[in-house]
A and B are shown apart, each in its own frame.
Chain A
Amino acid sequence: MEYFLDLFLGGLTRGSIYALIALGYTMVYGIIELINFAHGEIYMIGAFIALIVASVLTMYGLNMISILLIASIVAVIYAAAYGLTIEKIAYKPLRKAPRLSPLISAIGMSILLQNYVGIAQTKDFIPFPNLIPEFAFLAPYKDTIRSSEFMILITTAIVMVFLTLLIKFTKIGKAMRATAQDKQMAMLVGIDINRVISFTFVLGSSTAAIGGVLIASHIGQINFYIGFIAGIKAFTAAVLGGIGSIPGAVLGSLVLGWTESFATGYISSDYEDVFAFSLLVLILIFKPEGLLGKSTTQKV
């Protein structure tokens, strides 16, 4: 039972990180029907920025909580700027082009960013300091849940609630939904859809950067390639849950996290990806729109 609980929590943590990244994929897809393959790179860049900031701040001898906070904020700002810039230079000029063009542009962006970081920093793994402090109240349960896992779960939950409220109740949230449903009509009610699209990229990039900082802290090392792997997994999770659907992205991520965790725990870690992607294939065969994908009826 304890082993099961371990795997369950491990899957939940993993799924949470996937969810933080998958949200960016799904929101961007929801708005402009583009698979932003460079999104995983944003997560990686978030982790790198946090590492740089944390290293500098450690030299000044700040305490851990402030380092974590400042590093996260700087990472989020940088990631948002990257997301915004990528959209401006790689996708916006291609908005009226055939759908394959922005997709290829996205893959190009992904390769470019990976190699840029690989060359500018290093291609080897670099250790990442554990920025997440040990919580005293978790000490009795430290065999079951680590502080970093706890932090990941709490942060993800907060981000999810924040995003849900933002999209449901704020003006920009409603504008995002309107733009996703009918761009031309959105323009006709006075929505500047370029701003909405930019905002979506900022939002997605920010959550990905938070995911990057947390997972790097949790695992303890990063390299320029982590974004690619995590990006593919998060993308799988988004498709699993129904791309374009925000609750779907979260559900898909958790299902994927658990599948991997249980497959690793009960069978073999070699089969982790086999199970993850078999699940994807099965879902796509039997429910092509994904777990929570939308099938709306529209009267004419």
Chain B
Amino acid sequence: MLKLKNINTFYGKIQALKDVCMEISQGEIITLIGANGAGKTTTLMSISRIIPPRSGDITFMDKSINEMSPDKIVSCGIIQVPEGRRIFPILTVSENLDMGAFLRKDKSGIKKDLEYIFDLFPILAQRRHQPGGNLSGGEQQMLAISRALMARPKLLLLDEPSLGLAPLVVKRIFETIIKINTEHKTTIFLVEQNANLALKTAHRGYVMENGAITLSDTADNLLNNEAVKSAYLGI
């Protein structure tokens, strides 16, 4: 579904991604794990073309997306929930959700999806008229994922959804991620520092170090891999 071939991304003179190659198939949950500053967020930002790669090819559903602007990427169905949630603080909860559906024109479909989301996270329905900035961290993460769902993603990119959340909320968020994947067959690309949780959720995983992919295997194998265990799982 999504193929990254020899992606090189730079911040000025500093190379953040080195020849990154990845492949994500339809319906999978893929995770990318790695330490702080390994280049995980940059990988997602390169796919969304917020930080366009300097070289390499990205194809999505057999179509090159190399020359597209970020809004065109969204219209292809690649939707990102960035790190830190990035809720529009002064827009209300329902306006934030409207923004998620910005490129859609099917009013009845949008309404149906909104009902689905309020069913999934009833707290958002209760707070729909409040500014997004007033929500708690966990509620903001729910809103951020919901906002992305409003775009009907084909591929959902999630950047550190567990960051700064209470364990119970994290559990809830990850259950939702699995639910989205099984119910809607949405392909999910999950970037996480919490490697244990990520590998237990995902089907396959990649390990990133200093901007390069060093390992790739099924999630189960990575969980049992000695190097991964000592570096990321703390066992």
Residues on A facing B (Cβ under 8 Å): 171, 174-175, 177-178, 181-182, 184-192, 294, 296-300
Contacts and interface: CB of A to CB of B under 8 A. Distances in A.
B147 A299 contact: no
Nearest to A175: B102
A203 B196 CA distance: 51
Contacts of A178: 88, 91, 99
Nearest to B76: A190
Counting chain A CB atoms within 10 Å of each CB, the highest count among B98, B136, B137 belongs to B98
A188 B41 CA distance: 14
Contacts of A177: 88, 90-91, 95
A271 B234 CA distance: 73
Contacts of B135: 299
B102 A187 contact: no
A197 B99 CA distance: 17
Contact of B71 (A174, A192, A297): A192
Contacts of B53: none
Interface centre among A185, A188, A296, A299 (most CB of B within 10 A): A188
Interface in B81-137: 82, 84, 86, 88-91, 95, 98-100, 102-103, 133-137
B71 A296 contact: no
B80 A188 contact: yes
B50 interface: yes
6 interchain residue pairs of minimum CB distance: A190-B74, A187-B70, A185-B86, A190-B103, A192-B71, A190-B71
B195 interface: no
B70 A188 contact: yes
B88 A181 contact: yes
A190 B82 contact: no
Interface string B144-185: 000100010000000000001000000000000000000000
A249 to B, nearest CB: 17
A244 to B, nearest CB: 11
Contacts of A175: 99, 102
B71 A181 contact: no
B46 interface: no
Interface string B38-59: 0000000000101000000000
Contacts of B147: 189
A190 B91 CA distance: 16
Interface string B14-50: 0000000000000000000000000000000000101
Most buried by B among A175, A184, A187, A299: A299
Question: How many B residues touch the partner, as a band?
Answer: 20 to 34
Given A181-B90, A189-B151, A190-B103, A174 B80 contact: no
Nearest to A179: B88
Contacts, number: 75
27 contacts: A174-B91, A174-B98, A174-B99, A177-B90, A178-B91, A178-B99, A181-B88, A181-B89, A181-B91, A184-B86, A185-B88, A188-B48, A188-B74, A189-B74, A189-B99, A189-B151, A190-B75, A190-B102, A191-B71, A192-B71, A296-B133, A297-B89, A299-B134, A299-B135, A299-B136, A299-B140, A300-B137
A210 B80 CA distance: 41
Nearest to B73: A190
Nearest to A297: B133
A300 B89 contact: no
Contact of B50 (A181, A184, A189, A296): A184
A186 B70 CA distance: 10
Contact of B137 (A188, A192, A297, A299): A299
A193 to B, nearest CB: 8
A179 to B, nearest CB: 10
Contacts of B69: 192
Nearest to A168: B95
B165 to A, nearest CB: 12
B99 A296 contact: no
A293 to B, nearest CB: 13
A294 B133 CA distance: 13
A267 B147 CA distance: 57
Contacts of B134: 299
A33 B86 CA distance: 19
A167 B221 CA distance: 52
A187 B79 CA distance: 10
B71 A187 contact: yes
